Structure 1
Amino acid sequence: MAHGEHQPAASSRWRLRPREIPFRRRLTRAAVALIYRRTDHGGTELLFIQRARREGDPWSGDMAFPGGRLQPEDATPRAAAERETLEETGIDLVRHGRFQARLSDLLTRHHSRWRPMVVTPYVYEWKGPKAVTLNHEVETLVWVPLDYLADKENQSKRPWRTPLGTLNMPCCRYQEYCIWGLSYSMLQELLAQPLTQPRQ
């Protein structure tokens, strides 16, 4: 683990052994925030953003978690996730978020080039106000019930064209939205945790 990246231990109710990519310090780094909240009726909802539609962006309009690349001013990847979330949505995780755990590193590529990039997800419980302020990178924000995301009946496939042919990628469809790719992988790791269990 790189200097300055030490994270507080996750709560004992999290069954986590997150994977770390060994050579991640040599690659471009990014971080995202998986933010959940409790509802008045005892349920749990997870926050997604829909990326703004931009010409030339292969992930344009996709569902994602708020976050982005590390900048020189970011002391840690987690700090980058918190800064990017504030910039994109107005959600202040430092003031109103309760850090829960780090999930496994994932390897992807830059949006505009084929260079590899490591993405680290961080999980927070949201305890703040409902108001949000979206910037130009975000088209909309959606809270999705965790029970819906976990239901096998709501899982589907999305065709994805590659230079080697078309792949049928696993996804979850909610209303007119489709959650797939890296976000879907992070979601599956999150769903393996006892988020919906009562607190001890």
Structure 2
Amino acid sequence: MTRRPAITQPQLVPVTSIDDHLPAVPAAALTAEAICARMAALPTWAPEFAGDGGLFTDRAPAGAAVLLPLVQRDDGLTLLLTRRTDHLRDHAGQISFPGGRVEPEDDGPVATALRETEEEIGLSRDYIRVVGQLPIYSTVTAFQVTPVVALVEPGFTLTLDSFEVAEAFEVPLAFLMNPAHHRHHRFEFAGAERRFLSMPWHDAGREYFIWGATAAMLRNLYRLLSGSP
């Protein structure tokens, strides 16, 4: 098993490059209709990131699913994200999608993503329309994560699980689908190396440091929506 060092302060890891040479996904491809059509077409494509590239735990791999909730706002789609509380064992304080471990009663990853989303942030499935899935992503914490892409009708009210979720916020999808905001980082410690992607979002004077698995899955969404092979 390849072990990788844990990263506790990702903001301090040097940036090695920024992908401002790559094109942004056109606005016409970021509508609800275009995303539904793209997901339904099931194009042949390979995810850019299949996983974090190693483990720093001895536990057996576990299935998980997350929801990529695309909220249909009047001025364009936004992505609903969460910031996890600081005391959690896995991914404490990090920006993440709502989601979690697959339970025996779940009928597949979509059921897991919808259940976990309702439990974590109180977003009712009545507002959610699932439109597809991205390839499984393997994390350093031994989760095999299925990202479930969904459209969300506005008008919902969130009720956060205060044990797991510190806050929920929205980021314009156009910002995340522009590689000029995608930064590559490289970290070495005791002969081991980690590389990761970040997409920092600033709002009302605050920085939300989107990085790691969350940023990698968003980059895979970019590859799909941009039509990259």
Contact 1:19 1:103 (8 Å CA) reproduced:
no
Does residue 1:35 correspond to 2:69, yes or no?
Answer: yes
State how 1:13-28 maps to structure 2 within 5 Å: 13-14=38-39, 16=42, 17=44, 27-28=61-62
Question: Could you say which residue in structure 2 is the equivalent of 1:88?
Answer: 120
User: Following TM superposition, by how much is the alpha carbon of 1:109 offset from its aligned partner in structure 2, in angstroms?
Assistant: 4.0
Q: Does 1:64 align with 2:96?
A: yes
Greater share of residues in strand: 1
Instruction: State the secondary structure of the residue aligned to 2:209.
Output: strand
Question: Are the counterparts in 1 of residues 71 and 152 from structure 2 also a CA contact under 8 Å?
Answer: yes
Matched, 1:143 2:176: no
Write the distance in 2 (CA, Å) between the matches of 1:167 and 1:186: 17
Give TM-score scaled by structure 2 length.
0.67
* Correspondence for 1:108: 139
Distance (Å, rounded) in 2 between the aligned partners of 1:174 and 1:117: 26
Which runs of no fewer than 5 residues in structure 1 stay unpaired?
Answer: 1-9, 111-115, 196-200
Query: Take 1:167 and 1:120, find their aligned partners in 2: how far apart are those partners?
Result: 22
| 1:190 aligned partner | 221
Runs of 4+ in 1 over 6 A off after TM superposition: 18-21
Give CA-to-partner distance per residue, 1:72-100, whole Å, 9 cap, x none: 2212121111100000000012x211111
Could you tell me the TM-score, scaled by structure 1's length?
0.75
Is the counterpart of residue 51 in structure 1 residue 84 in structure 2? yes
Give 2:175's aligned amino acid. Answer: Y
Higher relative contact order (CA 8 A, sep 6+): 2
Kept in 1, the 8 Å contact 2:65–2:146? The answer is yes
| Aligned 8 A contact 1:169 1:180 in 2 | yes
Any conservation in 1 of the 2:197–2:216 contact (CA below 8 Å)?
A: no
Tell me the CA shift for residue 181 of structure 1: 1.1
Which is helix-richer, 1 or 2? Answer: 2
What CA RMSD, in Å, does the superposition of the two structures yield over aligned residues? Answer: 2.7
Partner Cα separation in structure 2 for residue 18 and residue 75 of structure 1:
26
SS, match of residue 13 in structure 1: helix
Kindly indicate whether the alpha-carbon contact (under 8 Å) linking 2:183 and 2:198 is maintained by their aligned counterparts in 1.
yes
Greater shift, 180-189 or 154-163, is seen at 154-163
* Structure 2 CA distance for partners of 1:158 and 1:74, relative to 1, 3 Å: same
Give aligned-pair identity as a percent.
30
* Residue in 2 that maps onto 1:170: 197
Distance 1:58 1:162, change over 3 A: farther
Q: Which AA in structure 1 matches 2:136?
A: D
Distance of aligned partners of 1:109 and 1:97 in 2 relative to their CA distance in 1, 3 Å threshold: same
Aligned pair partner of 2:106 in 74, 87, 96: 74
Structure 1 residues 58, 89: CA separation in 2 closer, same or farther (over 3 Å shift)?
Answer: closer
